[in-house]
Amino acid sequence: MKEATLLRIALSFSLIGLVALFILTQTMRPEEAHAGNLSSVEESRIVRIKGVVSGFRDYGKTARIEIARSETTEVFLFKSRNLSLQKGDFVEITGEVSDYNGRKELIASQVDILG
């Protein structure tokens, strides 16, 4: 085969692979963990939780959110934008499970207000 043909084939497969990866990343979602049950989730795992905001404290560049279900889960957020949460907001939070002082917490990467 000529070099030009091999180059076209390689570029075609590269583009197909990139499109496939893009589609996969758009459709994949982290597993859902139930608020209050983070103790059974291994550290560094990416999960999402849904629940009602029972407390919110803004510390400037960080914030602490308490999510209530059957138990309360503390979520920490390193803010890159203003976040206006209020008690009673129904939210979905995606983040990484971390161990802090022997207690599991969620370090949020995304907070979506659902209602």
pLDDT on residue 15: 96
Which domains does the chain carry?
Answer: 32-113 (2.40.50.140)
Buried b (16+ CB within 10 A) or exposed e, 77-106: beeeeeeebeeebebebbbebeeeeeebbb
pLDDT on residue 11: 95
User: How far apart are the C-alpha atoms of 72 and 36, rounded to whole Å?
Assistant: 5
**Residue 49, class by beta-carbon neighbours within 10 Å (0-12 exposed, 13-18 middle, 19+ buried)?**
buried
pLDDT on residue 8: 94
Spell out the per-residue pLDDT of the chain, length 115, in tens: 689 999 999 999 999 999 999 988 777 777 677 545 677 777 778 888 888 898 888 888 888 888 887 677 888 888 877 778 888 999 988 888 888 888 888 899 888 888 7
DSSP H helices in the chain: 3-27
